[in-house]
Amino acid sequence: MVSQQEIERQAAIACSLRETLAGKKALVRTFGCQQNEADGERIAGALLSCGYTLTETLSEADLVILNTCAVREHAEQRVLGVIGSMKKEKERRPSMLIGMCGCMAQEAHRRQQLKASYPFVDFLFGTDMHHRVPEIVANALGSRGQKHYVSDLPHDEFGELSEGTPVQRSSSYRALVTIMYGCNNFCSYCIVPYVRGRERSRSSDAVLQEVRELTESGYRDIMLLGQNVNSYRGELSFPQLLERAAQMDGDYWLRFMTSHPKDASEELISVMAGNDRIARHFHLPFQSGNDRILHRMNRRYTREQYIEKALKIKAALPDAALTSDVIVGFPTETEAEFLETVELVKQVEFDMLFTFLYSPRTGTKAAEMEGQIPHEEQVRRFTYLSDVQNEIAQKRNDAYLGKTLRVLSDGEDASGTPVGRSTQNKIVTFDRPVPAGQFCEVKIDTAKQYALAGTII
């Protein structure tokens, strides 16, 4: 735990920068998952405390921070493309500062690459350094030359937890609350345990206090976040924490992400079933429908165990949406093994499936495995599975026709159509504008694969 003294030292540095930075603008661009989004909100909070105002426009930003994701090659290439494109902006305005943080910053080979090929980047900091943003900015203003702030400890030691730093939330009605950092599961394909360190949980009191403050200030949709929330280890267990968090005053939904199939417990399902403030949405990634591949992925459950759990959730929460993640083309996956994945998808019938092409990540076990599957074959499996899932998604959504759903409005979409999300996290469009952040009741009359539409009642 970062000491209170250190938090105060950073606050004092932020305070000392305010005069210098008055009128200066900062842009924070986040890639990747909700955990990274939540980190981005803390970075934005720290920058505001230093005197910056926030902007979305690159050409007026005096400081740009790229909060990066390393989960797949594609994510990294996108970030490198964005950094590359900033070189010109930096030449045009040499006083502008550029920083990089997040999961890519935690990878040794990316740090070397940044030093060698992107020397115009001023600083880089790791995933456990958010509390030090004021100091990092002060140093960048004070002297030139790329600086790196990354825990150099072995991976089983890195990862500090801090409380009491400012947060600038990007929405006034949907909130992300990180309850734990890191991951201990070491799925063989996944970079997250290497770039986020070991699991560490915030205290239950701190989480509940944050949820209370959010409900008191009118937040309507609060998501508790962790790479594997079921291994939350605070004073309370995760199901207990969820139950308590659902008992505040106010009209709100509580969600969580993500649950690992080996740990999602009966207790969790029954807490959800017993409290309709807890959103009717269960995201339970299965990754593969074949036991040999699951074993090689180090997932520690079998196909049968997964199916049993998924069907139990569907039976206990009949009005809930069940969604999942799956990887196609894991090293050595045969056609027959892939078809077992397809069969699982047909049997369980997910509302939504996030399908990923396996992407080798430097440093993970799977990247060293023989039998990497060619890209074209991965794409073929991806397309095949997507076609199967699209039909299932349509069937699942057809079941909502004629039903009335409670929807939290998000205002209007890009084309001006009123839109929001239901407790199942389904996108719902409707006929009349409702201010963003207000609940409404929508009678569903149209079902598409990935959205529902209806009229306000």
> What are the φ/ψ torsions at residue 238 (nearest 5 degrees)?
-60, -50
Q: Residue 278 in contact with residue 423, Cβ under 8 Å? A: no
Kindly state whether residue 182 participates in binding ligand SF4, applying the rule CB under 6 A: no
Cα gap 363→306, rounded to integer Å: 28
Q: Locate the DSSP E strands across 276-417.
A: 281-283, 321-328, 352-357, 404-412
Q: Return the one option of ligand SF4, ligand SAH, ligand F3S, none that residue 325 interacts with (CB less than 5 to 8 A, by type).
A: ligand SAH
For the bound state, the minimum distance from the C-beta of residue 232 to ligand SF4, rounded and expressed in Å, comes to 13
Q: Which residues bind ligand SAH (CB under 6 A)?
A: 71-72, 189-190, 192, 227-228, 258, 260, 285, 287, 325, 327, 356, 358-359, 361
Nearer of residues 139 and 355 to ligand SAH, judged by Cβ:
355
Q: Return the one option of ligand SF4, ligand SAH, ligand F3S, none that residue 353 interacts with (CB less than 5 to 8 A, by type).
A: none
Radius of gyration, CA atoms only, the chain: 23
For the bound state, the minimum distance from the C-beta of residue 68 to ligand F3S, rounded and expressed in Å, comes to 7
For the bound state, the minimum distance from the C-beta of residue 19 to ligand SF4, rounded and expressed in Å, comes to 42
> What are the φ/ψ torsions at residue 54 (nearest 5 degrees)?
-95, 145
Closest CA to 89 of 114, 62, 69, 116: 62
Is residue 336 exposed (0-12), middle (13-18) or buried (19+ Cβ within 10 Å)?
Answer: exposed
Contact letters for ligand SF4, residues 140-179 (x by CB under 6 A): ----------------------------------------
Kindly state whether residue 228 participates in binding ligand SF4, applying the rule CB under 6 A: yes
Q: Which residues bind ligand F3S (CB under 6 A)?
A: 32-33, 35-36, 69-71, 102-103, 191-192, 195-196
Locate tokens 């719902």: which residue?
Answer: 428
Neighbour-count burial for 122-145, b at 16+ CB within 10 Å, e otherwise: bbbbbbbbbbbbbbbbbebbeeee
Return the residue of 8, 18, 186, 292 that touches ligand SF4, per CB under 6 A: 186
Q: Name the segment binding ligand SF4 (CB under 6 A); options: 113-121, 184-192, 248-256, 330-338.
A: 184-192
Q: Which tokens is 327 given?
A: 């990887």
Kindly state whether residue 227 participates in binding ligand SF4, applying the rule CB under 6 A: yes
Kindly state whether residue 190 participates in binding ligand SF4, applying the rule CB under 6 A: yes
Q: Residue 132 in contact with residue 10, Cβ under 8 Å? A: yes
For the bound state, the minimum distance from the C-beta of residue 312 to ligand SAH, rounded and expressed in Å, comes to 19
The DSSP letter of residue 245 is H
Q: Locate the DSSP E strands across 73-201.
A: 97-102, 123-125, 147-149, 174-178, 180-181, 200-201
For the bound state, the minimum distance from the C-beta of residue 329 to ligand F3S, rounded and expressed in Å, comes to 19
For the bound state, the minimum distance from the C-beta of residue 285 to ligand SAH, rounded and expressed in Å, comes to 4
Closest CA to 49 of 219, 165, 183: 165
Cα gap 79→74, rounded to integer Å: 9
Kindly state whether residue 187 participates in binding ligand SF4, applying the rule CB under 6 A: yes
Contact letters for ligand SF4, residues 249-288 (x by CB under 6 A): -----------x----------------------------
Kindly state whether residue 447 participates in binding ligand SF4, applying the rule CB under 6 A: no
Q: Return the one option of ligand F3S, ligand SF4, ligand SAH, none that residue 177 interacts with (CB less than 5 to 8 A, by type).
A: none
Cα gap 306→211, rounded to integer Å: 31
Kindly state whether residue 192 participates in binding ligand SF4, applying the rule CB under 6 A: yes
In the complex, the residues that contact ligand SF4 under the rule CB under 6 A are 183, 185-187, 190, 192-193, 227-228, 260
